[in-house]
Amino acid sequence: MTSTSVAFEKARAEDRAALVGYLPAGFPDVAGGIEALEVMVASGCDVIEVGLPYSDPVMDGPTIQAAAQRALEGGTRTTDVLRTVEAVAATGTPTVVMTYWNPVERYGVERFAADLAGAGGAGLITPDLTPDSADAWVAAADAHDLDKVFLVAPSSTDERLRYTVEACRGFVYATAVMGVTSARASTSELAGPLVARTRRFTDLPIGVGLGVSNGDQAAEVASYADGVIVGSAFVRALLDADDPAGGLKALASLTEDLASGVRRG
């Protein structure tokens, strides 16, 4: 497995931010999702987030919800998520799973950590799990040398920021939009101050997710963050396509635009 820190260090050595790309496993189907993620890697993503489709994605906006529902209706299971991780990690790109906590508990925390590590996964992003409720995950992640990526938000107090980043390994996920995820026409004025506050408590890379949908927005975020995290825009590129080939072409074009943006920033 390759820690996400390797990708951030490489990007930093090139004086740029890293591009982190997300798609849910099983969308548009398992094989098609793997192919899409491989296109994103080839077109400039430095880190890949593989989403574990969940039936109650309360923190996700309608775009990601639609993709997750399609994956679930297609029969995508946790084993398919791990298979997707294995395929993408084989490219040498650090690959993490982003998931709500309930599916991990149902699968078995230690079993999930072992299987994720066995698939070459770098770690886990847990949007609805806070460090003070994560003893089982922290123990399993430490046992298998997996990244532990927790979230900070504009509403986080300084005490909570310090506590959260101390529990992280790999990078810190700064969610700079109050509300559900989605692509947005403009970036959030809350993001820069949140990154600055978080830097006071950690030397870990800080990735920002706030609905970036084009290269210009990526450049803006890259001017102050270590990583630009994009999800809904990638999903939308596939949802809007007339056919699979068109979807992959749109995905490649979007990734190239975003990758150019993080280099300009």
Q: Is 135 a catalytic residue?
A: no
Q: Examine the residue annotation and report whether 14 is marked as an active-site residue of this protein.
A: no
Q: Going by C-beta distance under 8 Å and a sequence separation of 6 or more, which residues neighbour residue 204?
A: 5, 165, 168, 169, 170, 171, 172
Nearest partner of 116 among 52, 33, 28, judged by Cα: 52
In residues, how long is the chain?
A: 265
- Closest by Cα among 62, 71, 60, 61 to 27: 71
Q: Which residues are bridge partners to 97 per DSSP?
A: 50, 124
Which one of 46, 60, 220, 226 is the catalytic residue?
60
Map residue 161 onto helix, strand or coil: helix
Residue 11 CA neighbour count, 13 Å, CB half: 30
What H or E segment, with its residue span, contains residue 81?
helix 78-89
Catalytic one of 38, 49, 115, 147: 49
d(CA 133, CA 6): 28
- Collapsed DSSP state (helix, strand, coil) of residue 88: helix
Burial of residue 203 (CB within 10 Å: 0-12, 13-18, 19+) is exposed
Three-state DSSP class for 23?
strand
Catalytic residues: 49, 60
